[in-house]
Structure 1
Amino acid sequence: MLDAIAASPVAALLRDSAVIYPLVNALHIISIALLLGAIATLDLRLLGLFSRQSAAALAPALIRVAAAGLGGAVVTGALLFSTRPATYLANPAFLTKLALLGLGLINVAILRFNPAWARATDGGPIAPSVRVSALVSLAVWLGAILAGRWIGFLE
């Protein structure tokens, strides 16, 4: 299956183009910046910073920006992965990045199903469980970025 991915016309185009691969790579970085910028801002608010702005006012817009960033990062990341799938799957930093992304998404799911999340985003108090999720979120997403940057150093 990895050979089929690497042999796909899209993967070949990315590998052979001096313009398209760098553009996709730049879009991947921009998407990550949107994702992390929105998540970090919301997490820091949930941890008590930016207290002049209510979590209820910030959360809807920041969640949409983070979702757009995540969507862009997934699409561009899949395109970049297609150029050398076997190499990436043998890279411990890439595998760490995937694991951290999975943990980040699990944390998001746990937070979204926490009744305290709804209260915090409706203008209520921010419960300790929401603050813990925010702290975990910051650590996991920053770790995923660090692991992602480390990929190139372990090739």
Structure 2
Amino acid sequence: MEAVATLEWIAGLPVAVALRRSATFYIFVNAAHILSIGIIIGAILPLDLRLLGIIRAVPVAVIGPFLSRAAAVGVALAIATGFCLFSVNPLEYAGNPAFLTKMSLLALGVANATLLHLAPQWRAAVNGGPLSWRVRLSGLLSLAIWTGAVVAGRWIGFLLE
């Protein structure tokens, strides 16, 4: 019962009300969410491909820190805009399997990136050292997780009633 009350409270937030009342505002927030996802994928995909050794032309020390920061900004913006979109109809989204899958993958993606950036192997790689199996595995997981999150995000609309 408390979860329902929380979801109803979210639906009553001023941003939720404004988004429901203004199609234009909703379009702009939705577009910002899509652009945020573009920032994430645009940063993560080349970084992961570099970590996997598929792209070798640019050293990890050169692109790793920049692309990691860009992806973090994209994630922060996607979470902010995604929460706004969620607030429009939280009761329905909370029961949507695709939404729940996307949220789980988002959490896994952030956890994977956090664990990688805390690892000494990452610090070694961005300082010009070798790419360890730990760094490569994180890149592979990241590629799968973020791709899955995008697919799950697209799937959401197909499961809404």
Equivalent of 1:87 in 89, 92, 95 = 92
Give the aligned CA root-mean-square deviation in angstroms. Answer: 0.9
The residue that corresponds to 1:154 in the other structure is 159
Question: What secondary structure, in the 3-state scheme, does the structure 1 residue paired with 2:23 have?
Answer: coil
**Shift in Å, 1:113:** 2.0
**Structure 1: unaligned runs, 5 residues or longer:** none
**2:113 counterpart of 1:99:** no
Q: Which amino acid aligns with 1:64?
A: R
The residue that corresponds to 2:3 in the other structure is none
**2:24 counterpart of 1:22:** no
Question: What secondary structure, in the 3-state scheme, does the structure 2 residue paired with 1:123 have?
Answer: coil
**Shift in Å, 1:109:** 1.9
Q: How many Å separate the matches in 2 of 1:22 and 1:51?
A: 39
Q: Which amino acid aligns with 2:22?
A: S
Q: How many Å separate the matches in 2 of 1:113 and 1:64?
A: 14
Question: Aligned residue pairs: how many?
Answer: 155
Q: How many Å separate the matches in 1 of 2:36 and 2:15?
A: 20
Q: Which amino acid aligns with 1:18?
A: A
**Structure 2: unaligned runs, 5 residues or longer:** 1-5
Q: How many Å separate the matches in 2 of 1:71 and 1:58?
A: 20
**Shift in Å, 1:101:** 0.7
**2:68 counterpart of 1:63:** yes
**Shift in Å, 1:7:** 1.6
The residue that corresponds to 2:80 in the other structure is 75
The residue that corresponds to 2:38 in the other structure is 33
Give percent identity, aligned residues only: 52
**Shift in Å, 1:50:** 2.5
**Shift in Å, 1:49:** 2.5
Equivalent of 2:117 in 112, 115, 118 = 112
Q: Which amino acid aligns with 1:71?
A: A
Q: Which amino acid aligns with 1:74?
A: I
Question: What secondary structure, in the 3-state scheme, does the structure 1 residue paired with 2:55 have?
Answer: coil
Question: What secondary structure, in the 3-state scheme, does the structure 2 residue paired with 1:87 have?
Answer: helix
TM superposition score normalised by structure 1: 0.97
**Shift in Å, 1:110:** 1.7
Q: How many Å separate the matches in 1 of 2:9 and 2:111?
A: 30
**Shift in Å, 1:108:** 1.1
Runs of 4+ in 1 over 3 A off after TM superposition: none
